[in-house]
Amino acid sequence: MRHKILFIFPKWPTKALWGYLQYKFPPLGLLTIAGITPPEYEVEFLDENTGTIDFDNDADLIAISVMTPLAVRAYEIGDLFRARGKKVVMGGIHVSCYPEEAEHHSNAVVVGEAENIWPKVLEDFARGRLQKRYTETSLIDMSQDYPLPRRDLLAKRRYLTRSTIQMVRGCPFDCEFCSVTAFSGRRFRHRPIDHFIEEYNNLPDRFVFIVDDNILSNRRLASELFDRMRGTRKWWGSQVTISIADNSTILKKMAACGCKSLFIGFESLNQENLAQMGKKFVRPSKNMDRIKRIQDHGIGILGSFIVGLDNDKTSVFDDLYEFIIGTRLEAFLISVLTPFPGTHLTRRMEQEGRILTKDWQQYDMSTVVHQPRNFSPEFLQESYDELNVSLYSLSSIARRTIKPRKNTLIFLPQNFGFRKAWHRLLAARADERETTVPTREHT
């Protein structure tokens, strides 16, 4: 008998910013597991952020990927399918941190990187011997085992780009708030360049996002990679540390092979905050020069920041506003400090008794879930919302994105997408709390 597996990525909670963005980001991890599923299985994929689940689907096995803010919905989905007699398996970072929690809503959970153990899960399922928990302690050898994701399963025109791709996993820096090191390991693991280039050249979209946490983890390899990426006419973005600005040779190579956008974690403008989180290599005093050097190569920056850190004072919101406008950052992502499972931050916050809720739906990075040190949670939430509305004013968007560079075509729609999402999110919150939407407009 041919079994059918339905892979599900649950929808974002209704009060999360990411739920209001029109264009979504494909769940590459789940598509990769679909990619290693043997051909004797029929495979279907449903991203609930772009479509609706049919709970009468004829699949025999439901495989759900669980991130923390999506956990409540993932558990609802698991319960509904199990009530219809389906087998449910869950995996992902949240489940790996809280397998006992997920076990209440599934028939099996996968702890750790799923690629190596997925064939065993399927074998047990086919024999009717699914175990409650599968723990994988090893990490895949990216130089040998990296499977190709099933992008063909994605709905067309619902994603910012369907062309997400990975070259590297892992990170040695182990920043306090981040779960990458705990989940993906302290060592960078690279794919062979040939393997990556073959996949890259066959991607269906002109704009590609390389999801690596640091595409420059190995400068020699990156340099060769960028040489090989030339001449494809693709545009691409990825994530790096700000120290890339100090290497003009690499910057030139990146620009020459189509790099248009870099996601850079500045996190804070306060050196004490950076020291506390273990990100001392970001030097606020050098930020302005470094940003300009990158922008001068025609590469736009999506700067990532966190508010609610222990050394933040009430001035942090105005400081961030001035910095983002002053540096003309093409895009930004400001998150509220969030103690995600598996992080050092969570352990410290638990010891200090500062976690306000474990309602995972609120762990969307735009809702305050911890007790800040220097102000109230309410002040943090209101100031955070107001800062975002101010930074997505029309004058701010125009100043930051309209430049004599082609990447305006990337950043202008992105900013308008976030502007719309923010207004819809705050309207939804206002409806619920019967409060008013912040109105301060910087010019």
Cβ burial of 417 (10 Å; 0-12, 13-18, 19+) is middle
- CB-wise, 17 or 171, nearer to ligand SF4? 171
* CA gap 154, 320 in Å, rounded: 37
Least distance from C-beta 286 to ligand SF4, angstroms?
Answer: 17
Which is closer to ligand SF4, CB of 309 or CB of 426? Answer: 309
Q: Report the C-alpha gap between 188 and 218 in whole angstroms.
A: 8
The answer to whether residue 222 forms part of the interface with ligand SF4 (CB under 6 A) is no
Compare residues 30 and 274 and give the one whose CB is closer to ligand SF4. 274
Segment near ligand SF4 (CB under 6 A); pick from 170-178, 201-209, 224-232, 248-256: 170-178
Q: Which residue in 213, 330, 364, 385 binds ligand SF4 (CB under 6 A)?
A: 213
- Pick the piece of the chain touching ligand SF4 (CB under 6 A) from 19-27, 35-43, 106-114, 167-175: 167-175
Using CB under 6 A, pick the residue from 48, 174, 310, 319 that binds ligand SF4: 174
16 interacts with ligand SF4 by CB under 6 A: no
Q: Is 173 in the site for ligand SF4 (CB under 6 A)?
A: yes
171 is a contact residue toward ligand SF4 (CB under 6 A): yes
Distance CA 210, CA 35 (A): 18
Nearest approach, Cβ of residue 330 and ligand SF4 (Å): 20
Report, in Å, the least distance between residue 402 CB and ligand SF4: 30
Least distance from ligand SF4 to the Cβ atom of residue 437, Å: 31
Segment lying near ligand SF4 (by CB under 6 A), choices 16-24, 176-184, 322-330, 342-350 = 176-184
Q: How far is the CB of 168 from ligand SF4 (least distance, A)?
A: 10
Decide: 412 and 305 in contact? Cβ < 8 Å: no
Q: Binding of ligand SF4 at residue 273 (CB under 6 A)?
A: no
By CB under 6 A, what part of segment 139-158 binds ligand SF4? Answer: none
Q: Least separation, in Å, of the C-beta of 67 and ligand SF4? A: 15
Which range in 82-90, 146-154, 175-183, 419-427 contacts ligand SF4 by CB under 6 A?
A: 175-183
Asked if 184 touches ligand SF4 (CB under 6 A), the answer is no
Decide: is 180 part of the binding site for ligand SF4 (CB under 6 A): yes
Nearer to ligand SF4, 67 or 178 (CB): 178
CA angle, residues 427, 430, 432, in degrees to nearest 5: 115
332, burial (CB in 10 Å: exposed 0-12, middle 13-18, buried 19+): buried
- 3-state SS string for the chain: CCCEEEEEECCCCCCCHHHHCCCECCCHHHHHHHHCCCCCCEEEEEECCCCCCCCCCCCCEEEEECCHHHHHHHHHHHHHHHHCCCEEEEECHHHHHCHHHHHCCCCEEEECCCCCCHHHHHHHHHCCCCCCEEECCCCCCHHHHCCCCCHHHCCCCCECCCCEECCEECCCCCCCCCCHHHHHCCCCEECCHHHHHHHHHCCCCCEEEECCCCCCCCHHHHHHHHHHHCCCCCEEEEEECHHHHHCHHHHHHHHHCCEEEEEEEEECCCHHHHHHHCCCCCCHHHHHHHHHHHHCCCCEEEEEEEECCCCCCCCHHHHHHHHHHHCCCCEEEEEECCCCCCCHHHHHHHHCCCECCCCHHHCCCCCCCECCCCCCHHHHHHHHHHHHHHHCCHHHHHHHHCCCCCCHHHHHHHHHHHHHHHHHHHHHHHHHHCCCCCCCCCC
Establish if 372 lies at the interface with ligand SF4 (CB under 6 A): no
Q: Measured in Å, how far apart are the chain's first and last C-alpha atoms? A: 65
**Residue 265 binding ligand SF4, by CB under 6 A:** yes
Min dist CB 278 to ligand SF4, Å, is 7
Closer Cβ to ligand SF4, 106 or 181, answer by number? 181
- Does residue number 178 form part of the binding site for ligand SF4 (CB under 6 A)? yes
Return the number of the residue (174 or 386) whose C-beta is nearest ligand SF4.
Answer: 174
Q: Which is nearer to ligand SF4, 217 or 327 (CB)?
A: 217
Task: Work out whether 181 is an interface residue with ligand SF4 (CB under 6 A).
Answer: yes
Decide if residue 175 touches ligand SF4 (CB under 6 A): yes
Q: Which is nearer to ligand SF4, 23 or 281 (CB)?
A: 281
Stretch that binds ligand SF4, among 95-103, 130-138, 168-176, 332-340 (CB under 6 A): 168-176
319 binds ligand SF4 (CB under 6 A): no
For residues 203 and 72, what is the distance between their CA atoms, to the nearest angstrom? 33
Rounded to a whole number of angstroms, the minimum distance from the CB of residue 120 to ligand SF4 is 29
Question: Which residues of the shown chain bind ligand SF4 in the complex (CB under 6 A)?
Answer: 171, 173-175, 178, 180-181, 213, 265
